[in-house]
Amino acid sequence: RDPAGSQYLLVLSNPHLLAFLERNGDVAFLDGTFSLTEGAICHLLAVQHPVSGQLIPCVVGVSDRQTTEAYTRFWDIVRRMAPLFHPRLIITDMERAYHNSITVAHPQAQHRICAFHIQQAVIRRLNAIGIRDRERQRATCTLITTLF
């Protein structure tokens, strides 16, 4: 049992990926998916490779809770695994619990919302109100993402 209230929290990585995270983790990307397995949330912490520009997944977490407390516990474990990891910027989706946990675990880091996730939300909303023209959707997404 996790003292933060989760029934379970599993965090996986290896020494090579943790060293890479510590060396290159100035800007980190955190995303979660809730549809892989029923009742489980998979978190992926990645950093961009300095040469290729590809995102390199460095830490995977699996939890049964989507709460600030569970995510803060995830960050605590990552901090113990990679004590030299001090991101300047963390980019996530729009989930409030991620934002709250970043404020607690990495107060020095700026938090930004991923442009891809903003665009997904805008397109869902435009479709819901009947705007399905791809060009109008694209123009609206471009305009909105420039605000962030």
Q: What is the chain's pLDDT, residue by residue, as a tens digit (148 residues)? A: 545 554 788 899 999 999 999 999 999 999 887 665 666 778 888 888 878 888 899 999 988 888 899 899 999 999 999 999 999 999 998 889 999 999 999 999 999 887 776 777 778 888 898 988 888 888 887 777 777 6
Instruction: Give the separation between CA 132 and CA 139, rounded to whole angstroms.
Output: 12
Please give the sequence-ordered ranges of beta strands (E in DSSP) within 34-129, or none if there are none: 41-48, 55-63, 89-92, 110-113
Tokens 């004590």 correspond to: 83
Instruction: Give the separation between CA 35 and CA 18, rounded to whole angstroms.
Output: 26
Q: List 125's β-bridge partners, or say none.
A: none
- The confidence score (pLDDT) of residue 125 equals 86
Torsion of CA 38, 12, 86, 66, to 10 degrees: 20
- The confidence score (pLDDT) of residue 66 equals 84
Tokens 């930004």 correspond to: 112
20 token code pair: 């890479």
- The confidence score (pLDDT) of residue 35 equals 64
